[in-house]
Amino acid sequence: MPAILEARNLVKHYGAIVAVDGVSFGVDAGTCFGLLGPNGAGKTTTVEMIEGILPATSGEVFYRGEPAGDRFRAEAGIQFQKTALQEFLTVRECLTLFRNLYPRGLSVDEVIRICALEKLEDRDNRKLSGGQQQRLLLAIALVNDPEILFLDEPTTGLDPQARHNFWDLVRAVKASNKTVILTTHYMEEAYFLCDRIAIMDHGRIIAMGSPLQLLQEHFEDVILEMPREDFTLDPSSVPFQLLAGSEQIEISTASVDATLRYLMDAGVSLKHLRIRPRNLEDLFLELTGKELRA
Amino acid sequence: MIRRMLAVWHARNVEFLRDRATLGWNILVPIGLVVALALIFGGPERPLFKVGVLHSGASIQTAMHPFLATHYIEFFTVSDETDAIRKVGRHQIDLLLDLRTTPRYWVNTDSPKGYVVEKLLLQSDPGLKREAVSGQAVRYVDWLLPGILGMNMMFSCLFGVGWVVVRYRKSGFLKRLRATPLRAIEFISAQVLSRLIIIMIVMVFVFWALSLVVHFRMEGSPLLLFLVALMGAISMIAIGLFIAARFSSEELASGILNAITWPMMLLSGVWFSLEGSANWLQWLAKIFPLTQMLDAARAIMLDGAGFAQIAPQLLYLAISGVLFMLLGAALFRWRAD
């Protein structure tokens, strides 16, 4: 099946600064694709070029095999990172405004139901909490019953509960066979929602694949974590790799048995030891040499 | 297309009408003007007649001439003969009496008050020499009223649209609209329409309220005046949109709007006529739509001009309105950069 959306060699220059440096990827219909990276990696610039909001310095975007145009605009739903709506309009009025800009779509009542805005529909949009505001923006992105939905860091700044609520909404949207393109700097979010991810840094994609596939490609090891005070050995003399930068001691090993045996023989307490698989944060650190939210 | 435009138009109206502070300001300013004008010009004129006197004494003495003993006439000293004669022509002085050498007087043959006061004068001194002046009365309030209303319209058009669009752009609302099938010309038309209807309703209301408290001159057709105001508003709103086409800084937009509104206010003849000033200045003033609108409005109100006489101004306003709207749409930028 051909990709519903394809970006080919997108480049964006701001004067001498190269914000996006040759990004290409394809997204299959009905999947969730995540662009992952730290702030300033070029994620938002990339999606805004795809959305047609920002002119690309060079490169092309194809929607259903054709250069993205009017059809794309009618079938795409977009949630920007930050959007102020018109002042003094209620939730329902905002939705009605946007609904009327599209030839077809869901009814306002339906998007209100999907995004659980029933109790807020008469409230001034400026008086919503962060999570409620994001739900309204998602509802606006859904009014045209889009085939493809763009979410640009939709949960940044939300508390954990609001974030999980939002994820449930996105999963419900995905379940109705929509294509979702998500940018985030939360690895957990990407892991939870995305079928495929592209990791970006300095305007380039440095790795792409399904989260599991990427982890398997890059890591054969697991991580043993323990508090620093429990680790009584000289870090320079141990026969395994210690990871830097964390408050905890993190031991990377492909052979858990041998490592545990070594630690027990050396008299290290394993009381607080935890074993965890490699995650996307580790992958990012591995690929770029820096922490994601540094 | 119409549906998208109406959606934006409706949302803008709701926003404007719910914004009590702005709404209040938009209605209070013209009402304040009504009250101020009424206070200044609406009161009863105390003396029945005003007679200027040119004389060589220190002050006016009844001994100078028997007419000066007449009651209910305000006699006052004038020194500038030319200016005083012009004022007679404008009905600002009912009669001018010259007692410096051979007594003589000037009277406006078109003025009813001049006629009456002349009769009184000739009763007391039948042999006086008469110098006739002609010209229709134009009170300052008649002159000023279209100017003030026009100025109020100008601010409302330029700032009301320009400022709002710049704010939308800065807040990212325009960027969000960009992601929909809405086109720039549809958005712009909706903004013009929303502001235009609001302004015309306010203007009609203020004009009506003014007609109750200040008895200003209205020689021509009110419908024609409405048409002039409508075309003027379209032209000035279009300029506001043109200015707001690209900026995303409210300070910058405000500076530029000020840079345009102030010269318009000073040079378009809101407060005083530019008759007699340098030619290039008068030509410059003609560029401003406010000048064209005021010229047409005054021609209708003061001289009873018909459609044919003000057609050039209407044409100018229409062309500039369309031109600036198209330019605004062509230059329009959704994003803040």
Q: Are residues B63 and B12 in the same domain?
A: no
Digitized pLDDT (tens) for each residue of chain A, 294 residues in all = 578 999 999 999 998 999 999 999 999 999 999 999 888 889 999 999 999 888 999 999 999 999 988 889 889 999 988 788 888 899 999 999 999 999 889 999 999 998 889 999 999 998 998 888 988 999 999 999 999 999 999 888 888 888 888 899 889 888 888 999 999 888 888 888 999 999 999 999 999 999 888 888 888 888 888 888 888 888 888 888 887 656 788 888 888 899 999 999 988 888 888 888 888 888 888 887 766 554
Q: Are residues A40 and A131 in the same domain?
A: yes
Range with the poorest average pLDDT among A228-237, B41-50, B65-74, B131-140 = B41-50
Report yes or no on B300 lying in a domain. yes
> The CATH number of the domain where A152 resides is what?
3.40.50.300
Q: Are residues B109 and B147 in the same domain?
A: no
Report yes or no on B337 lying in a domain. no
Q: Are residues A95 and A232 in the same domain?
A: no
Task: Please write the tens of the pLDDT for every residue from A198-220.
Answer: 999 999 999 999 988 888 888 88
Q: How near does any CA of chain A get to the CA of B190, in Å?
A: 13
Q: Are residues A99 and A200 in the same domain?
A: yes
Cβ contact, residue pair B335, A53, below 8 Å:
yes
Among candidates B60, B50, B163, B162, which has minimal Cα distance to B114? B50
Report yes or no on A284 lying in a domain. no
| ipTM value | 0.81
Q: How near does any CA of chain B get to the CA of A280, in Å?
A: 31
Cβ contact, residue pair B7, A86, below 8 Å:
no
Residue of A nearest to B335 (CA): A53
| Angle (deg, nearest 10), helices B2-18 and B20-41 | 70
Q: Are residues B207 and B253 in the same domain?
A: yes
Q: Which residues of A sit within 8 Å Cβ distance of B? A: 51-54, 70, 73-74, 76, 78, 80, 82-89, 93, 96-98, 100-103, 140, 144
Report yes or no on A149 lying in a domain. yes
Task: Please write the tens of the pLDDT for every residue from B253-279.
Answer: 888 888 888 888 888 777 666 655 667
The structural domain count of chain A equals 2
Q: Are residues A69 and A196 in the same domain?
A: yes
By residue count, chain A amounts to 294
How many whole angstroms separate alpha carbon B161 and alpha carbon B165? 6
Cβ contact, residue pair A80, B179, below 8 Å:
yes
CB count within 10 Å of CB A292 equals: 21
Q: Are residues A169 and A246 in the same domain?
A: no
DSSP code of residue A255: -
Q: Are residues B19 and B127 in the same domain?
A: no
Assess whether pLDDT exceeds 60 at residue B63.
yes
Chain mean pLDDT for chain B: 83
Which amino acid, B17? Answer: L
Helix, strand, coil percentages for chain A (3-state, nearest 5): 35, 30, 35
Contact B154, B240 (CB under 8 A): no
Report yes or no on B208 lying in a domain. yes
Report yes or no on B146 lying in a domain. yes
> The CATH number of the domain where B129 resides is what?
3.40.190
Report yes or no on A166 lying in a domain. yes
Residue of A nearest to B164 (CA): A86
Cβ contact, residue pair A83, B175, below 8 Å:
yes
Report yes or no on B336 lying in a domain. no
Cβ contact, residue pair B181, A51, below 8 Å:
no
Residue that terminates a domain, selected from B70, B98, B133 = B133
Which among A51, A86, A100 has the least Cβ separation from residue B179? Answer: A51
Counting one residue from A and one from B, how many pairs have CB atoms under 8 Å apart?
69
Q: Which domain holds residue A147?
A: 5-213
How many whole angstroms separate alpha carbon B156 and alpha carbon B151? 9
Q: Which domain holds residue B82?
A: 49-133
Question: What b/e string do you get for A74-106 counting C-beta neighbours within 10 Å, with b at 16 or more?
Answer: bbbbbbbbebbbbbbbbbbbbbbbbbbbbeebb
| pLDDT computed for residue A294 by the predictor | 44
Q: Are residues A15 and A66 in the same domain?
A: yes
Q: Are residues B21 and B150 in the same domain?
A: yes
Report yes or no on B187 lying in a domain. yes
Among candidates B288, B322, B321, B318, which has minimal Cα distance to B147? B288
Q: Are residues B306 and B229 in the same domain?
A: yes
Q: Are residues A132 and A233 in the same domain?
A: no
Report yes or no on A294 lying in a domain. no
Residue B327 bridge partners (DSSP)? none
Task: Please write the tens of the pLDDT for every residue from B102-161.
Answer: 888 998 877 778 888 888 888 888 888 888 776 655 666 777 788 888 888 898 888 888
Q: Are residues A46 and A169 in the same domain?
A: yes
Q: How near does any CA of chain B get to the CA of A115, in Å?
A: 19
Contact B23/A at CB under 8 A: no
Residue that terminates a domain, selected from B133, B153, B173 = B133
| pLDDT computed for residue A196 by the predictor | 94
Contact B105, B98 (CB under 8 A): yes
Assess whether pLDDT exceeds 50 at residue B64.
yes
Cβ contact, residue pair A101, B181, below 8 Å:
yes
**Higher pLDDT among residues B47 and B101, named by residue:** B101
